[in-house]
């Protein structure tokens, strides 16, 4: 197994500067009520609509291009963001001219889209993903894991037990009240950074809180649900009518794991699995964090486990960590598909990627212990286009459909 060095093990493959991230995420949580009051009252929203009707953002971008402050890339092959690439590919099929703004030769995840035809003349500037009007208030709270849980729970949707705390004492209080194991993560953040799972003891909890607080002063402490993580992306609206939404895909994500055979140690099983991995999957890497992760489950790399026992090796999920992905839309139970649409309607936003844990997606959620654990306001829709297994789904088409393009 390859040893990991030279990067933050808790950030994984998506490192961020800790101090800057801590500052902005803590400020984001602490000042959220004031920000929402200032930005999403009737006057500010009316002003925003006025700006949109007059294409102020578009005109500003064109001015910056004329002044040479930014440049325009029309070559899809030069775009480095896979999420934008799938949008771009679908745009070309629809006769939409899409381009990328660059600064000092590098993309800044801001794009222009134009569609000129006999019956229509449209222009749009967007960052990350294009959205219909009306996304603001929900979009602003979606990445706050505590507020998200409260909104979904109020709608009668399944969420894990737990809460948020600013201090170790507050985290311990929650820990003592919920079923074990427990998971700890920054209250605001994404990509599983600085998340700790399989916490059974107060000492492990204190360590996990310290890790999470490196990225946000407020941390979430909640019951850990077991099973694969599903990314259910819903597109439509915005609005609260279920008929306005479409389920773009239901992608299963697994972390690195091996299955015991009663003969080889966990470490030996990892070496064997690394020899068989698909070329798109990175090799599983040993690290002190993996040792700690296993120890919280009463395991070690040197241990031989019984045949058939599944062993998880990391909190991280995805191909970049030696895990797997599968587009399971076709086998997803109808009750579960409806549940994802209900969750989107409860939020009322136009594009949302839910992280949902459930043991078996082919069985109704009503018959299993499951729940929503996070939501992403800027989901990687490309995941549904590029699964390791299963039938790809064209999420980009639904994005353009939602705009009427």
Residue 270 lies in a domain: no
Distances (CA, A) of 294 to 192, 251, 266, 291, 303: 18, 26, 10, 5, 10
Confidence of residue 4 (pLDDT cuts 50, 70, 90): very low
pLDDT at 118 > cutoff 60: no
Residue 207's pLDDT is 94
What are 326's two structure tokens? 């599968």
Residue 347: enclosing H or E segment and its boundaries?
A: helix 334-347
In a domain, residue 80? The reply is yes
Q: What is the pLDDT of residue 178?
A: 94
**Residues with Cβ within 8 Å of residue 93, at least 6 apart in sequence:** none
Residue with tokens 């381009």: 99
In-domain check, residue 206: no
The arithmetic mean of pLDDT across residues 4-13, rounded, is 71
Q: Is the pLDDT of residue 66 over 50?
A: yes
3-state secondary structure at position 291: helix
**Residue 304 gets which letter from DSSP?**
B
Q: Specify the pLDDT at position 189.
A: 80
Q: Domain for residue 117, yes or no?
A: yes
Q: Which residue has the higher pLDDT, 230 or 16?
A: 230
CA dihedral in degrees (386, 390, 394, 399; nearest 10)?
Answer: -80
Average pLDDT of the segment spanning 317-329: 93
Residues 205-217: pLDDT tens digits?
A: 999 999 999 999 9
* Summary mean pLDDT of the chain: 89
CA atoms lying within 13 Å on the CB side of residue 307: 3
Domain count, the chain: 1
**What confidence score (pLDDT) does residue 133 get?**
64
| pLDDT at 404 > cutoff 90 | no
Tokens 């055979």 — which residue?
A: 261
Residue pLDDT, tens place only, 18-43: 998 898 888 878 777 776 666 666 77
Domain range holding 121? 43-128
Whole-structure pTM value: 0.87
Mean pLDDT of 71-77: 95
Q: How many CB atoms lie within 10 A of CB 97?
A: 13
Q: Is residue 329 part of a domain?
A: no
Q: Is residue 330 part of a domain?
A: no
Least confident window among 194-203, 231-240, 308-317, 332-341: 231-240
Q: Which residue has the higher pLDDT, 45 or 108?
A: 108
pLDDT digits (tens, 9 = 90+) for 124-181: 899 999 987 655 667 777 888 999 999 999 999 999 999 999 999 999 999 999 999 9
Could you report the per-residue pLDDT of 361-398, keeping only the tens digit for each?
999 999 999 999 999 889 999 999 999 999 999 999 99
Q: Which tens digits make up the pLDDT trace of 275-288?
A: 999 999 999 988 88
In a domain, 102, yes or no: yes
Q: For the residues 52-81, what does the mean pLDDT come to? A: 89
- Contacts of residues 25-28 at CB distance under 8 Å and 24 or more positions apart, as own/partner, are 25/186, 25/187, 25/188, 25/189, 25/215, 25/216, 26/188, 26/216, 26/217, 26/218, 28/143, 28/144, 28/188
| Residue linked to tokens 């820990």 | 175
Looking at residue 240, its pLDDT comes to: 53
Mean predicted confidence (pLDDT) in 109-134: 82
How many residues are recorded in the chain?
A: 405
Q: How far is CA 214 from CA 23, 166, 381, in A?
A: 10, 12, 28
Q: Is residue 388 part of a domain?
A: no
DSSP label at residue 224: P
């Amino acid at each position: 197994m390859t040893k990991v060095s030279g990067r933050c093990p808790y950030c994984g493959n998506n490192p961020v500067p800790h101090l800057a991230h801590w500052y902005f995420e803590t400020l984001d949580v602490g000042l959220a009520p004031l920000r929402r009051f200032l930005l999403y009252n009737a006057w500010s929203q009316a002003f925003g609509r006025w700006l949109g009707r007059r294409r102020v953002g578009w005109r500003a971008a064109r001015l910056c291009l004329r002044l040479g402050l930014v440049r325009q890339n029309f070559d899809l092959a030069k775009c480095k963001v896979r999420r934008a690439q799938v949008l771009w590919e679908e745009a070309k099929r629809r006769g939409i001219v899409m381009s990328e703004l660059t600064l000092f030769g590098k993309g800044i995840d801001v794009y222009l889209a134009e569609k000129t035809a006999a019956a229509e003349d449209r222009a749009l500037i967007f960052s990350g993903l294009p959205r219909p009007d009306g996304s603001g208030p929900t979009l602003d709270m979606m990445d706050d894991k505590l507020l998200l849980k409260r909104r979904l729970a109020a709608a009668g949707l399944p969420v894990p037990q737990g809460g948020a705390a600013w201090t170790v004492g507050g985290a311990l209080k929650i820990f003592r009240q919920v079923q074990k194991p427990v998971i700890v993560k920054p209250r605001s953040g994404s990509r599983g950074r600085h998340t700790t799972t399989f916490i059974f003891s107060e000492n492990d909890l204190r360590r996990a809180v310290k890790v999470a607080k490196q990225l946000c002063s407020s941390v979430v402490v909640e019951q850990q649900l077991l099973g694969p993580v599903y990314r259910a992306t819903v597109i439509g609206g915005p609005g609260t009518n279920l008929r306005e939404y479409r389920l773009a895909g239901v992608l299963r994500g697994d972390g690195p794991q091996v299955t015991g055979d009663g003969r080889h140690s966990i470490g030996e099983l990892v070496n064997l699995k690394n020899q068989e991995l698909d070329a798109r999957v990175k090799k599983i890497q040993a690290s002190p964090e993996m040792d700690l992760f296993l120890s919280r489950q009463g395991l070690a790399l040197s241990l031989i486990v019984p045949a058939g026992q599944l062993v998880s090796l990391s909190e991280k999920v995805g191909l970049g960590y030696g895990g797997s992905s599968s587009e399971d839309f076709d086998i997803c139970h109808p009750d579960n598909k409806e549940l994802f649409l209900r969750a989107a309607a409860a939020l009322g936003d136009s594009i949302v990627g839910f992280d949902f844990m459930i043991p078996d997606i082919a069985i109704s959620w009503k018959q299993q212990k499951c729940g929503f654990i996070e939501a992403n306001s800027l989901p990687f829709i490309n995941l549904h286009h590029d699964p390791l297994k299963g039938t790809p789904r064209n999420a980009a088409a639904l994005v353009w459909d939602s705009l009427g393009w």
